Structures are given as C-alpha cells and as structure tokens.
Amino acid sequence: MEIKRKVNAPAAFIFDKIIDSALFDIRKQTQKSLTRKQLQGFEYVKIFDSKRRAKIKIVEVKTNEIYSIETSTTKNTFKTTYTIQPIDELNCEITCTETMESHGFIQKANDMVLGTLVGWLKKRQIKVMLDAMATAYSK
C-alpha cells in the first residue's frame, strides 16, 4: 500500500507530530521517556488488549525526512515508512508505504480475502491523520 498526500504544513512540523506520537506511545507502553536520538533501533511491546500484542521496532529515523517502523504479531509483520518531502517552507508531500508479510498459509489466505477492505480502511485512517496534522498547524 502506498499513499501520497500534499499537506499544508512544513515538513518539520509533520515530522515533529509523528515523533511526538511515537514518544508518547513508548512512554505509555514502557514508562520510559526517550529522547529523539534514542528512537532508532528501539524495540518495545505494545499491548492492545488482553489477547493482542505486537513487538514494535523503530527501524529508521531521519530528521524531517523519514520515520520507519516494523510491527510484528504472531500473524503478520508490517513495515510502515513515512517519507516527508518539503515542497516549500509551508507545504510538504508525505508518502506512507506499508508492506505486510503474513505468517502461515491460512493467515495468507485470510489476508488475501480481507486485504481490499482492510487496505481501504487503513488508507482512509492515514489520510484522516494527515489532514488532522495539517489542521493542527493552521490553528
């Protein structure tokens, strides 16, 4: 899946929002307060509910340009990368790419069947998130 979106906010502002969200999630899940410099390579377990959890690894952090994570569950591994390209001082283009690797034949078949619907929902969720960031900048 790939989404490209022009956002009416500077690249640095969008990058800061993404990083602040990551730091908040890490603090909530681990009770550790990291600095931005400690993010790359950091791994932690995120607990969604009593039955669902995932291992999250921050793969790459390049200030105002790239934020990439790998999320692993017992069923799938997702790699999500946000690439930020400045257009000018007040606008940027964000490319969000996500790949998914399913574990096991039954999971692969299940993901193929549900892939279109889930992909549409994820794209919609990412667009809403990016629009919310742009709105936060304009206020």
User: 9 — phi, psi (to 5°)?
Assistant: -160, 150
Task: Specify the residue for token string 């410099």.
Answer: 37
Task: Using pLDDT thresholds of 50, 70 and 90, give the confidence band for residue 116.
Answer: low
Q: Which residue has the higher pLDDT, 98 or 139?
A: 98
Model pLDDT for residues 120-137, shown as the tens digit of each residue: 777 888 888 888 888 888
Model pLDDT for residues 58-86, shown as the tens digit of each residue: 999 999 999 999 999 888 899 999 999 99
CATH of the domain at 133: 3.30.530.20
**CB-CB contact of 66 with 60 (8 Å):** yes
Give the pLDDT confidence score for residue 133 in this predicted structure. Answer: 87
Question: Which residue range forms the structural domain that includes residue 119?
Answer: 2-138
Give the count of beta carbons closer than 10 Å to the beta carbon of residue 2. 10
User: 53 — phi, psi (to 5°)?
Assistant: -150, 160
Strand, coil or helix: 53? strand
Give the pLDDT confidence score for residue 27 in this predicted structure. Answer: 96
Task: Using pLDDT thresholds of 50, 70 and 90, give the confidence band for residue 115.
Answer: low
For the chain, percent of residues with pLDDT exceeding 90: 60
Paired tokens of 80? 């999500």
**CB-CB contact of 118 with 98 (8 Å):** no
Give the pLDDT confidence score for residue 23 in this predicted structure. Answer: 97
pTM given for the model: 0.84
On average, the pLDDT of the chain sits at 88
Model pLDDT for residues 18-73, shown as the tens digit of each residue: 999 999 999 999 999 999 999 999 999 999 888 889 999 999 999 999 999 999 98
Helix 11-30 to helix 105-138 angle (10° resolution) is 120
* Domains identified in the chain, total number: 1
**CB-CB contact of 12 with 89 (8 Å):** no
